[in-house]
Amino acid sequence: MISTIDYSVIILYFLGIFVFAWWITRKNRKDQESTDYFLASRDTGWFVIGASLFASNIGAEHIIGLAGSGARGDMPAAQFEILASLVLILLGWLFVPFYLKTGVFTMPEFLERRYSSGARTYLSVVSILAYVLTKISLTIFAGALVFEVLGIPFWTGALIVIFATGIYTVFGGLKAVLYTDMVQLFILLGGMVLATIFALNQIGGWSGMTEAFDSYALANPDFDNSGFFNLWRPSSDSSYPWTGMMFGAPILGVWYWCTDQFIVQRVLSAKDISNARRGTIFAGYLKQLPLFLFILPGILAFALASKGLLALDIANPDKALPILINELFPVGIKGLVLAGLLAALMSSLSSAFNSCSTLFTIDFYKRAKPKASERELVWVGQLATIVLVIISLIYIPLMKTLTQSGGIIQYLQSVQAYISPPIAAAFLLGLFMKRLNARGAIVSLWSGFVLGALRLILEFLVENGKVALGDNLLIDLIVGPNFLHFAIYLFILCIIILIVVSLTAPQHSDEKLKGVTFDKTVEDFFEVKKIDVNMTLGLIALVIFIWFLFSPMGIA
């Protein structure tokens, strides 16, 4: 249980965040316009962008879920983090020039310029739905698990964090989110470094950890420790096949990192193309840290539990990190690390709140009332955030049912695998193929949505024994493949539909395609600086080294 001193540290942290958010936004509060509120006045530097990209992505569901994956022996789950680095390179070098050239506020707005208003509406609706089902509700759920382990009732913890985050998001807008993200990044990383150090010290260092695994393997002949230190699994693996990770996970990445409002909004706030690109590359380097700061503590928690040094139920590994903090950390330090977890939770939530309010305000309200004043748009964005808080609280009870079977990380990635393929296809091909048009985009997007939703529904029915594999061919075709392999098949199908249906209607005019496909006006935005090239090559080399290090050859 946490002490009065730990509570004091947490309270001081919250007060500090509120004061900092107020200080960041106080100068423009009276004359705050929509560009200030939603895109931080478009004057953000690369360091803040990179830190915010990382911090807003790493929420409590990532920290707890990845630590749980480590304790479960699912190190390949870290591939989602590592591969994100390569997709962020794609964001900086390919997508950013188009986004900044068009000056859009939202990703649905860009899709409208490339295709039609129908495509814009589709992406807005699906994005908001995805935020509620995954980012917001799952983050709150995972954060509440932390409070449960520390002796605080589930709903008390959930309410405190969600309302505290909502307050400074409502009043500060994106500028408050960006700069508090930057501060919270250091708190988060510091806390996880401490978690790793304390766990290693308790187990007796790296050698003590390997000895614990050897002893457990001797006592349990069926135990296989290869999943704890190996990023690669055979293509037949039911959870994380290497084929699915290498070819399926990047499809999820293109949607999340390159076309999702939640992430791209940070890049849209950049002061220029160089800062935007460098921020994405910097975030790519930061994305290598979760393997060491989140997966490794989970592995250490399993090792400690195997020696009886930690009261962790191996059957419930998602609680590995909170239990590690609760049992090993001294008074005061425990409160500091808990503040780090709250930092990640609040970063992810605040980003989701702000992105959702932006989507609703710009893509629905402003389209319905184009003459709305700047102050009215900001007010509607604030109201939308409050509504999202209420909806998320209502949805949370269902999360306990939805995450029971495969854990937090697998649930999160599988839902994204069913949403991302049609959107990734529409954005990626739309930049290169001028022949693609609105008819092809709409049919492809909605076909992909129906098939993804069907997979999610049938998967739920199979897991609950309502239907079974082998009952009919349709169920086997849709539910049979691994979720990452399904994403590959759906992506290919959406591409075929997009191309074939587009051929049944005329190509869009050159005027409409200006700035949203490759042409001379966009080429001017593809400026190349040597430092950006060198940083990119260094990042690629780092990814390859980590792949080798945590492979059978590297371990050997």
* Full-model pTM: 0.84
* Residue-number span of the structural domain to which 210 is assigned: 4-555
Please state, as a whole number, how many other Cβ atoms lie within 10 Å of the Cβ of residue 202.
Answer: 18
CA separation (Å) from 253 to 83, 90, 270, 423, 464? 8, 10, 21, 11, 29
Domain containing residue 364: CATH number: 1.20.1730.10
pLDDT at 32: 46
pLDDT tens digit string along 140-188?
777 777 777 667 777 777 777 677 666 655 555 445 555 666 666 677 7
What are the percentages of helix, strand and coil residues in the chain, rounded to 5? 80, 0, 20
329 phi/psi in degrees, rounded to 5: -90, 140
Give me the helix-helix angle, 530-549 and 273-286, nearest 10°. Answer: 20
Burial class of residue 90, CB neighbours in 10 A (0-12, 13-18, 19+): middle
Distance CA 546, CA 291 (A): 10
Give me the helix-helix angle, 60-72 and 407-432, nearest 10°. Answer: 120
Residue keyed to tokens 């048009």: 437
Distance CA 234, CA 481 (A): 14
Q: Determine the Cα angle at 189 with ends 275 and 327, to 5°.
A: 165
**Sign of the CA dihedral 531, 254, 283, 410?**
negative
pLDDT at 538: 96
**Sign of the CA dihedral 321, 327, 333, 335?**
positive
Q: What is the 3-state secondary structure (H, E, C) of 403-432?
A: CCCCHHHHHHHHHHHHHHHHHHHHHHHHHH
Cα 131 from chain centre: 10
Give me the helix-helix angle, 154-203 and 320-328, nearest 10°. Answer: 70
- Please tell me whether residue 1 adopts helix, strand or coil conformation: coil
The encoded tokens of residue 95 equal 């997508």
pLDDT tens digit string along 6-26?
888 888 877 776 676 667 666
- The domain total for the chain is 1
The encoded tokens of residue 118 equal 């129908």
- Please tell me whether residue 516 adopts helix, strand or coil conformation: coil
Q: Which parts of the chain have pLDDT scores under 70?
A: 1, 17-18, 20-22, 24-43, 59-61, 149-150, 161, 164-185, 343-344, 346-348, 351, 398-407, 520-526, 555-556
